[in-house]
Amino acid sequence: MKQTMGVNTIDFKYLRQLVYEHSAVVLHGDKTYLAELYLQPIAESAGFASISELVKHLRIQPFSSLHVQTIEALVTNETSFFRDTQPFEVLKQFLLPELVKTRSVERSLNIWCAACSNGQEPYSIAMLIRENFPMLANWSVKLIASDFSSKVLERAREGRYNQLEIRRGLPNTLRDKYFQKLDSDWQINNQIRQMVEFRQINLLQSWSSLPEFDVIFLRNVLIYFDIATKKSLLKKVRQQLRPDGYLFLGSGETTINLDESFERVSFNKATCYRLHNA
Ligand SMILES: C[S@@+](CC[C@H](N)C(=O)[O-])C[C@H]1O[C@@H](n2cnc3c(N)ncnc32)[C@H](O)[C@@H]1O
């Protein structure tokens, strides 16, 4: 008979430590039910009778792809096209027009989505550029999108979304223009896909392979980190951002009380950040 799966406190403590060590994400105690939901399929497909059996295996075995799968399953990937709307409006109405002017000699622009999940965020930026800034077609525009999770990056590179995902935030006009129907899903077309360079980057590790950026989207990821991690990542952002560049955080995130080198810049209902004295 199949055993009932469940995550007990001791197993959850181990899982929380495993996730923290590899991603810095802090899993709160109220996530035990989610852990059960996400780990059950992994335990089953790896042939374990319960999540406890899976955890027992993970504890004694050297770090393996099963550890990676477990960690990636426990980290939130929630995202959508044009999430929160306003940051994209600010990019369209204020920041990109300004950057088009200030970078008109070098004609290059670097944008980074630093925790891009399944790709909706960078593809939203790519569509926004394609729709509104035709002059950038002759520039060197680097749109780098990264995540630590190979699972989400694989999906992001494929650019294939189900009905539910495609309906979240994406206007039908953009869907019809930039996506092709694939069975009941929709897949981004090559024109937009080629604008985005996906890379696997764990924010805790070195960023030395990256260029300096004019705009950094670091949205809805700091919220999962503890204060020390937030501070150390904002310090790295400071070094990665051009002196007059802009940083976007999620709506529940801020630099305030974490890094005083940033100042808030408000446009209508949206806020982004730039370095003092920019
Ligand atoms: C909630 S999603 C946010 C996606 C998108 N930025 C948005 O706002 O819609 C958070 C993403 O952060 C990624 N993440 C978590 N810890 C990370 C780390 N240490 N390095 C890189 N990515 C990480 C997760 O894999 C997940 O895809």
Rg of the Cα trace of the chain?
20
Per-residue pLDDT for 145 more than 50? yes
Residue ranges matching CATH 3.40.50.150 in the chain: 86-275
Q: Kindly state if the Cβ of 149 falls inside 6 Å of ligand 1.
A: yes
Ligand 1 midpoint to CA 115 (Å): 4
Q: Is 89 helix (H, G, I), strand (E, B) or coil?
A: helix
Percent of the residues in the chain that have a pLDDT greater than 90, as a whole number: 92
Q: List where CATH 1.10.155.10 sits in the chain.
A: 9-74
Closest alpha carbon to 103 in 215, 262, 198, 236: 215
For the domain spanning 86-275, the CATH number is 3.40.50.150
The band of 278, judged by pLDDT with boundaries at 50, 70 and 90, is: low
Distance 4 CA to ligand 1 centre (A): 31
Q: What is the pLDDT of residue 6?
A: 59
E strands present in the chain: 108-113, 140-147, 160-161, 179-182, 185-188, 196-200, 213-218, 241-249, 262-267, 270-275
Domain 9-74 falls in which CATH fold? Chemotaxis Receptor Methyltransferase Cher; domain 1 (1.10.155)
Report CA(141)–ligand 1 centroid distance (Å).
Answer: 23
Index of the ligand 1 atom closest to the CA of residue 201? 21
Cβ neighbours of 77 (radius 10 Å)? 15
Q: What is the pTM of this model?
A: 0.96
Q: In which band, very low, low, confident or very high, does the pLDDT at 29 lie, cut at 50, 70 and 90?
A: confident
Query: pLDDT-based confidence at 141, cuts 50/70/90?
Result: very high
Whether residue 43 contacts residue 5, with contact meaning beta carbons closer than 8 Å, is answered with: yes
Q: 76-93 pLDDT, tens per residue?
A: 999 999 999 999 999 999
Q: Residue 106 Cα, ligand 1 centroid: separation in angstroms? A: 31
Highest mean pLDDT: which of 22-26, 34-38, 274-278?
Answer: 22-26
SS3 272: strand
If you average pLDDT over every residue of the chain, what do you get?
95
Is a pLDDT exceeding 50 seen at residue 2? no
List, in sequence order, every beta strand (DSSP E) within 4-91.
none
Q: How confident is the model at residue 33 (pLDDT cuts 50, 70, 90)?
A: confident
What confidence category does residue 13 fall into, taking pLDDT thresholds of 50, 70 and 90? very high
Q: Which atom of ligand 1 is nearest to the CA of 79?
A: 9
